[in-house]
């Protein structure tokens, strides 16, 4: 468990154009219907889960953590990698418990999508209901996370603010939980 906000901040030491290994970058050559050819960078990565976690009294569970893309600490949905032979629901329950110390009464996959049009990385939005704190967080050694529980209205407002990296996963979870109604 980290202590204090400074413990979550990372210090940038350098930058290089090559990938570090979490996402593999490949290059595909395609022939268009008009006969021209072009090359496309493709991101290859593991399946992941992002969890909209609601406590039995309706609060929302997030984790504060540094995100290297934006370069700052964000309040994020708990989540992580689905192991190759692991069930998505099991991975979601495991990640929630590891990162927050919360156990879900139920988990349900509510959406699946690709990271982007140039990626093979599949992400899963999971709704976890009736979550309750049962342990201290046990994050992986490379994770520095701080659980954060917000009242439902603040939780929904945070996800709608877009100040997290899995806003689309959050929206899917909120709709599945009945906390957002489609307007169309």
Q: Are 103 and 61 in contact (CB under 8 A)?
A: no
Closest CA to 75 of 180, 177, 172, 161: 161
Q: Which residues of 13-30 are buried (b: 16+ CB within 10 A; e: fewer)?
A: eeeeeeeeeeeeeeeeee
Per residue in 113-148, pLDDT (tens digit) is 999 999 999 999 999 999 999 999 998 888 899 999
Rounded-to-integer distance, Cα 170 and Cα 166, Å: 6
- Taking 90 as the threshold, does the pLDDT of residue 177 lie above it? yes
Phi and psi, residue 92, nearest 5°: -65, -45
Rounded-to-integer distance, Cα 100 and Cα 23, Å: 25
Please report which confidence band the pLDDT of residue 2 belongs to, taking 50, 70 and 90 as the band edges. very low
Which residue in this structure is represented by tokens 């953590």? Answer: 65
Per residue in 46-64, pLDDT (tens digit) is 999 999 999 999 999 999 9
């Amino acid at each position: 468990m980290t202590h204090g906000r400074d413990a979550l901040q990372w210090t940038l030491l350098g930058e290089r154009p090559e990938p570090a290994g979490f996402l593999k970058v490949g290059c595909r050559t395609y022939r268009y219907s008009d006969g021209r050819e072009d090359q496309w960078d493709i991101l290859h990565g593991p399946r992941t889960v992002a969890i909209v976690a609601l406590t039995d009294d309706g609060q929302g569970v997030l984790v504060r953590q540094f995100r290297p893309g934006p370069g700052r600490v964000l309040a994020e949905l708990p989540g992580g990698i689905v192991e190759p032979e692991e069930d998505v629901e099991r991975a979601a329950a495991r990640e929630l418990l590891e990162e927050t110390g919360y156990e879900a009464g139920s988990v349900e996959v509510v959406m699946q999508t690709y990271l982007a049009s140039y990626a093979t990385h599949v992400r899963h939005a999971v709704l976890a209901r009736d979550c309750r704190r049962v342990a201290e967080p046990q994050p992986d050694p490379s994770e520095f996370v701080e659980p954060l529980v917000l009242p439902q209205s603040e939780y929904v407002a945070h996800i709608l603010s877009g100040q997290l990296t899995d806003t689309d996963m959050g929206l899917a979870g909120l709709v599945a939980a009945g906390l957002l109604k489609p307007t169309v």
